Amino acid sequence: MTKYIRFLIIMGMSIQGFTQNIERDIFHNLKHESANGSYTSYLEKNIFNDLIFSDNRGNEITLEKKYIAIEYGDVLKNAEAEIAIFKSMIHEHRRDKDYKAKFSVDIFNKIIIEDNRNRKVEIGKDIKGNETYKEENNGVHRSMQTRFNGVIEYKGENKEATLQKDIFNKWIYKDSHGNEFKFSKKTWDKLKNKFGTEENIFNHLIFEFLELLKKK
Whole-Å CA distances, 63 to 7, 29, 58, 133: 18, 15, 17, 19
Picking from 27-31, 73-77, 131-135, 193-197, which range would have the lowest pLDDT averaged per residue?
A: 73-77
146: exposed, middle or buried (C-beta count within 10 Å: 0-12, 13-18, 19+)? buried
The full set of domain ranges for the chain reads 3-105, 118-215
Helices (H) and strands (E) in the chain, counts: 6, 14
pLDDT at 62: 97
Mean pLDDT of 99-128: 95
**70 alpha-carbon distance from chain centroid:** 12
**Average pLDDT value over all residues in the chain:** 87
Q: What is the pTM of this model?
A: 0.79
pLDDT over 50 at 2, yes or no: no
Q: Which helix (H) or strand (E) holds 97?
A: none
In 3D space, the residue among 189, 207, 195, 98 whose CA is nearest the CA of residue 142 turns out to be 207
